[in-house]
Structure 1
Amino acid sequence: MANQEINEIKRIFISRLDVLDHILSIGEKHFADTNALMQERLAEDMYPFGTQVAFVCNQPLGFAQWCADQAIENLSKDVDTLEQARAHIALTRQMVERIAADDSKLDEVKHIGLGPGRYADLPARQYINDFLMPNLYFHISIAYAILRKLGAPIGKFDYMTFLAPHVKQEA
């Protein structure tokens, strides 16, 4: 299959966006003031919950834009409402679903800006494995951890809902 690797990346991104949406649903059920939730932080020097949502979405969104040879434009990090968070997830999901690149895209080199005056040029597979995926999981984990810190009833299975179709019960 010519697009086997790209399709697997898309599957991972979509399923992890579903995890993020699930985490949002837990926050929505547990906290009456979801706007206040969007401002909660794990630590004072870390970004708030809403920004974590934007940063999760920026990983697959940036990949989709790169695959389409578009300039990478991050979503606003100022996510103040549940509606904004869900809109970021929906837009990102649409962009990922539309990826039409073939696996040869993964043979290219990706230029990554890393802040003022810093960058890395990485082979695409390394860009995905060493940059995109760690960032994706980091920001999902921080959103999860913020809910845990606030006392929401969330556990490891909520973080790994993508495994649900594979779970079996022992006899």
Structure 2
Amino acid sequence: MENQKIAALKNIFSSRLDTLSHLLDIAESHFAEDVESLLQSRIASDMLPFSTQIAFACNQPRNFALWCSGQSANNLNPDVASLVEARGHISSTQELLASINVADSKLLELNRIEFGQGLYVELSGLAYVDDFLMPNFYFHIATAYNILRMAGAPIGKRDFMMHLVPSIKHQSDA
């Protein structure tokens, strides 16, 4: 039985993936003639390209869902070749999120994250979410947003904060 914290996490991941999908819609309409260049765009030469930011953003909720179901982490291929493939990553991640059905007590379990070269960290489920998944998730979404902005896409904070749009009110409505 799913509880409030797990449900809230699913909602956060899902609504922000909707934002990422919205950003892809803008990318497609603004860069229709040169999507391939956009997919390879970077903020700095030592940073990963737009296409990889999409895959890495999806990896966080994806691996959360897999962990909740007792499965090992399984990162997506970072070499995203098209917006269709990027949308597929978002869609498959949304499906995994929807399949989560565990109690909040899952967040008390220990999770080991392997970094390679013999390095790892063990975190409680809550620390795994708060200190590892969420910072990485927002980093890659913000980086994708910033690459689009730098490339000239007509986006602003509203496009990044899409999850708040349904809650926005006008003072005259009060």
- TM-score normalized with structure 2 length: 0.95
Q: Is the 8 A contact 2:53 2:141 kept in 1?
A: yes
- Alpha-carbon contact 1:39-1:80 (below 8 Å) kept: no
Superposed displacement of residue 125, structure 1: 0.5
Could you tell me how far apart the structure 1 residues matched to 2:46 and 2:116 are? 18
The match for 1:8 is: 8
Kindly report which structure 2 residues correspond to 1:45-124, keeping only aligned pairs within 5 A, or say none: 45-124=46-125
Q: CA deviation at 1:37?
A: 1.3
CA distance in 2, matches of 1:59, 1:69: 15
Deviation at 1:2, TM superposition (A): 5.4
Q: Report matched runs for 1:150-161 at 5 Å.
A: 150-161=151-162
Correspondence list, 1:119-138, <5 A = 119-138=120-139
Question: Where does residue 25 of structure 1 map in the other structure?
Answer: 25
Identity %: 52
Is 31-40 or 143-152 further displaced after alignment?
A: 31-40
CA contact (8 A) 2:2 2:101 kept: no
Cα distance, 1:36 vs. partner? Answer: 2.1
Paired residue total: 171
Q: What letter is aligned with 2:73?
A: I
Structure 2 letter corresponding to 1:143: A
Q: CA separation in 1, counterparts of 2:97 and 2:126?
A: 17
TM-score by length of 1: 0.97
Which has the higher mean CA deviation after the structures are superposed, 90-99 or 25-34? Answer: 25-34
Gaps of 5+ in 1: none
Unaligned 5+ residue runs, structure 2? none
| DSSP-derived class of the 1:111 partner | strand
List structure 1 runs of 4+ shifted beyond 3 angstroms: none
**Residue in 2 that maps onto 1:40:** 41
